[in-house]
Amino acid sequence: MSPSQQSEPPDISSHTPDPSPQVIRLPRLALVGVVLLFFGVCFPALSWPAAFGWLFIVPIAVAFWVLRVRTTVSSEGLAMRRVLGSDQLTWDEVKGIHFPDRRWARVVLNDKTEKSLPLVRFDRLPVLAAASGGRITDPYAAAAEADTTPEDEE
């Protein structure tokens, strides 16, 4: 078979899940807020440095948080980076994921302990489902499939 006759893989469509690792983090645009915070801190800190000079630590800490905290989801597992420390989990260790009281997602491990997934909210569930390689179900896709009834197909 000549190279021109070999079949090519289909292009990735919107219905094909992207199996590549997905990084969930704050957008870099959040650093604009850090700059505004820095300017707000400048007025008292520069007017009386002996008393308010320590306020410069606040925008530095917020910038560090924006740049460091993230959750990476791949077909191998989950990697969580927090301000202090990080964790890596394989999918064999994960029993499930839940969302308590409108907060960040929590992953439930096989030993029934829980760990938080930084910056992962319920609206990121399709991204988690695609990057996990099917280990996490997408409730939006399941609801869309449930909406197609036999009456709709006729």
For residue 73, the model assigns a pLDDT of: 92
Please report, to the nearest 10 degrees, the dihedral formed by the alpha carbons of residues 5, 9, 10, 11 taken in order: -110
**pLDDT tens, the chain, 154 aa long:** 555 555 554 455 555 555 678 999 999 999 999 999 999 999 999 999 999 999 999 999 999 999 999 999 998 999 999 999 999 999 999 998 998 887 889 999 999 999 999 999 988 888 888 888 888 888 777 677 777 755 555 5
For residue 23, the model assigns a pLDDT of: 93
- φ/ψ of 19, rounded to 5, equals -80, 0
For residue 154, the model assigns a pLDDT of: 53
Which two tokens mark 98? 């839940």
For residue 61, the model assigns a pLDDT of: 97
Q: Indicate the DSSP class of residue 82.
A: -
The crossing angle, in degrees rounded to 10, of helices 30-47 and 57-68 is 170
Overall size of the chain counted in residues: 154
